[in-house]
Amino acid sequence: MKPNQTKDKIYQASMRLFLTQGFEDTTLEQITKEAGVAKGTFFNHFPSKDAILTYLCEQMVSSMGHKVKARLNGIESAQSKLVHLFRLLATINENEQQRLKLIAGKLLPFQTDQAQASPYPAFMLELIKEIMEEGRENGEFWHGAHPEHAAHALTGVYLYTTIQWIHGQLAQPLEMALLNRLHVALNGITQQREEFSMEAYEVQQSYDTVIVGGGLAGLSSAALLAKQGKKVLVLERGNLGGRAVTLNIKDFKFNFGAHAIYGRDSSTLRLFEKELGIHIAWRDFNPNKAKYDLGSTLTDIPANILGLFRTRVMKNASKVAFTYEIFKTLIGKEKGSAHMSIKRWMDEKQVSDDVQEMMLTLASSNFFTKEPEKIPSDVFFGYYNRLFTTNKPVAYIEGGWQALIDELVRVIEENGGEIRTKQKVTAVKTEEERVVEVETPDAAYRADRFIFCIPPMELAKVFENTRIEHLLKHYAHYQASYVFVYDIGLKERIDTPYTYVYDKKNKLFITDISYYDETCVPEGGQLLQAIAYLNEEDLGNKEALAETQEKIERLYDKHFAGWREQLVVPRMSKRASAQEIKWRIDQQAMPVFFPDYRNLYFAGDWCQGKGQLSELSFSSAYEACQLVLQNG
């Protein structure tokens, strides 16, 4: 049976049960029995029971889209389109009342888990916004009625009325209630219809520093500046943490990617810990429990001297040569070149094949890339010069990313900083060599300094028609480093003599997260995380992604036999961005400062700094803060 057929089979079986006995009273066991599938098969298609309701929303939205297009086709008046739209929606809802009751909680756009967010509110907003734009352009609607604000208002009318109807709180039929309320919205409630100015109600808000983006870079910047007495505002369009997210699903704490810090004793995060007084419980990685899977055998990873002498990846002569390369890196003799890839550098230095393979394998795992040979040699040596000198090569944060996010937020708020979520910055206002204001759909914020911690692709849109538009568009075209993440929460531990195993051939690895962080699982449980590196051509290629999933599952089968029977919940992300810039010879990190605007700075894992992954976010944020403090 094809995957789509299996998914539909599970969906139809679920709907039969939900409609007959209710969502809450339907168990996963009943669904799999009704559909005639195994629990593992269910999780291959739906990460949770709630995901079925999200899928139901998607089906309803798709069906509504076709019906709305057919109904509104040929209607010229925007006002008539709104009337026809509300009438059509009332009819659809009355025909789908039972299914609509199931998704009542998903009609409101307040989903903390973006993976389970309903498309229903967004569909309504976009639909009504298009009609409002059309009506304003042809003169039907007041020119001061901003299409986005009007769309939110009318969508609110529709959703609130529909929810009242679902719960039996309307004293009149749904269609009549919708049309009556639409009439009030279209005609207004004031006795006099003349236009009035909003300037009297506008609050001018000014700060020392406005930080756009509430990920690791944004929050650490805000915490450091707030601690220094600066009046700080953080604007975040979604949820705090950016990609550093911890999701609690069935008492398992899943992190978006590995919540690991590399070289923590020399990490910039140590500076933040010291200067901010944040409290992090560290769980250090045990290199003696790290193995390479060579296909037919396991061997030690040369993460330390003991591992180097034990490993069978290299012959003894190659081990000596590899040790010599490490020594040269440690003392800074080898620095590489920004214009030469590490592969070309090794070829020119006539490094043996064994040592080349070992160096590239290390780079693949540390840089999260399938193409380590393309890493610029200066980036390679700069990274390992620091990592080889550390006493704490890898460490995990107890409680996951959320523990760190909570601490940064605590420092910001204790020092008078402000954080505003659901605030998407859409534009900037500049005057000569300065940025003076950032704009959101709801407000404008002025500041003396600005730090932008959003990726280049978003920056390019915000800074359109400014002096640095062309610079940002250059970085916006860079490729990111993507991975396939496949985590599994197990009911009981499957003990093995290792906590990390790297499939050398397929460039993927499994980490026993719960071995290091027991707080991420319910009592007796286990959380395993598998990460596979992806190429650009893998993205959107269903066959390639399906093959990657199979490889991961085979590695789970091989090293954690019985995991399918112990499976409680999986979490899969087939296109996770590990870092916004993939290290290649034709891609370089973005500066934290451009001279075009004297009060504008940037931070994030796409910016210049030290380290890789999250360390780049911290180091670039620290550098941006130092520039802010030096300049006032």
Q: Kindly report, residue by residue over 155-165, the tens digit of the pLDDT.
A: 888 888 888 88
Question: In this predicted structure, what is the pLDDT of residue 623?
Answer: 95
| Rounded distance between C-alpha atoms, residue 356 and residue 305, angstroms | 18
- Phi/psi of residue 395, nearest 5 degrees: -145, 150
Alpha helices in 36-119 (DSSP H): 39-45, 50-72, 78-95, 97-102
Question: In this predicted structure, what is the pLDDT of residue 504?
Answer: 84
Highest mean pLDDT among 170-174, 530-534, 579-583: 530-534
Enter the pTM of the model: 0.65
| Confidence category of residue 14, pLDDT binned at 50, 70, 90 | confident
Q: Kindly report, residue by residue over 582-621, the tens digit of the pLDDT.
A: 878 888 889 999 999 999 999 999 998 887 788 889 999 9
Highest mean pLDDT among 54-68, 142-156, 599-613: 599-613
Q: How far apart are the first and last CA of the chain?
A: 66
Give the residue among 610, 566, 601, 583 at the shortest CA–CA distance from 39.
Answer: 566
| Confidence category of residue 198, pLDDT binned at 50, 70, 90 | very low
| Confidence category of residue 357, pLDDT binned at 50, 70, 90 | confident
Among 187-196, 217-226, 549-558, whose mean pLDDT is lowest?
A: 187-196
| Rounded distance between C-alpha atoms, residue 69 and residue 477, angstroms | 35
Instruction: Name the token pair of 513.
Output: 């997260």
Instruction: Name the token pair of 332.
Output: 């800074």
Strands of 432-499, DSSP E: 434-439, 444-452, 481-490
Q: Which residue has the higher pLDDT, 392 or 215?
A: 215
The continuous run of DSSP H or E covering 306 comes out as helix 305-310
DSSP state of 128: H
Question: In this predicted structure, what is the pLDDT of residue 192?
Answer: 53
| Confidence category of residue 331, pLDDT binned at 50, 70, 90 | very low
By the 8 A CB rule, do 538 and 548 touch? yes
Question: In this predicted structure, what is the pLDDT of residue 118?
Answer: 61
| Confidence category of residue 488, pLDDT binned at 50, 70, 90 | very high
Question: In this predicted structure, what is the pLDDT of residue 116?
Answer: 47
Question: In this predicted structure, what is the pLDDT of residue 450?
Answer: 98
Highest mean pLDDT among 48-57, 73-82, 620-629: 620-629
Q: Kindly report, residue by residue over 400-416, the tens digit of the pLDDT.
A: 888 899 999 999 999 99
| Confidence category of residue 195, pLDDT binned at 50, 70, 90 | very low
* Other CB atoms within 10 Å distance of the CB of residue 123: 19
Question: In this predicted structure, what is the pLDDT of residue 551?
Answer: 95
Question: In this predicted structure, what is the pLDDT of residue 258?
Answer: 56
| Rounded distance between C-alpha atoms, residue 504 and residue 363, angstroms | 12
Q: Is the pLDDT of residue 130 over 70?
A: yes
Give the residue among 116, 370, 365 at the shortest CA–CA distance from 254.
Answer: 116
DSSP state of 629: H
